[in-house]
Amino acid sequence: MDMNSLAMLPLWYVAFLFSLTCHEAAHALVAKWGGDLTAYQAGQVTLNPLPHIRRETWGTVLVPLVSYLIGGSMIGWGSAPYDPYWEQRYPKRAALMALAGPCANIILIVVAAVLMHAGMRTGYFQGMSYVQFSAIIEGKDVAGDVATFLSILFSLNLLLALFNLFPVPPLDGNTAIGLILPDSVNDKFREFSRQPMFQMFGVLLAWLLMDRVFQPAWGIAVRLLIYPGSIGG
């Protein structure tokens, strides 16, 4: 790993941890609104990353840092506890809780896009003819670091939202299916989804499909939200 990649490590980690914290806090908040206080009582309805780190230290600290040092990008995970009996009684509320995490990531995508546009309009940031995951816009000196951070925030949250929306266990998209399934069918589907073998298969399938889904989705998102004038050009 070169020195430039090491210099970007703090920007990557702050963007990663903030995104993951928002994702899990959104789960916890919507669960609280729906009547399940499990995550709230565990202190996870917060943007303070410490409760989330204490719950999943491997997924929020160790694995992300090691994966970046080895491969130049971060992977990791978090979790928000919930009452399975509450999920069984209120499958539609549980589905909304599941969707809350990806929705938080989508909000962060929009916020990053708005800040990028504001920076380009005021001259702090400049557009780029060739864009990549961590370099959608650019700037000089401190503005360059902010531009890199916003680029990572935009791309990383799109990755997190898309990955978690795959309708396979144990990802959020699998629970979100409860919004459209009859309760009787959803009960059987939930039992099926909780089997460890299917959860391992689900994660593997989502991982294998992610490259095919992310690259075109990222290109569309950049053209629509950052460089709308490039469409059709």
How far apart (Å, rounded) are the C-alpha atoms in residues 70 and 73? Answer: 8
How far apart (Å, rounded) are the C-alpha atoms in residues 64 and 132? Answer: 20
Give yes or no for a contact between 91 and 190, defined as CB atoms under 8 angstroms apart: yes
Give yes or no for a contact between 45 and 182, defined as CB atoms under 8 angstroms apart: no
Active-site entry in 24, 56, 87, 138: 24
Residue showing tokens 């993951």: 20
Return the SS3 of 42: coil
From the list 80, 86, 114, 127, the residue with the least C-alpha distance to 100 is 80
Reported as half-sphere exposure (CB side, CA atoms, 13 A), residue 77 has a value of: 9
Q: Is 24 a catalytic residue?
A: yes
Reported as half-sphere exposure (CB side, CA atoms, 13 A), residue 114 has a value of: 6
Give yes or no for a contact between 23 and 52, defined as CB atoms under 8 angstroms apart: no
How far apart (Å, rounded) are the C-alpha atoms in residues 176 and 91? Answer: 9
Q: Which residues are catalytic?
A: 24
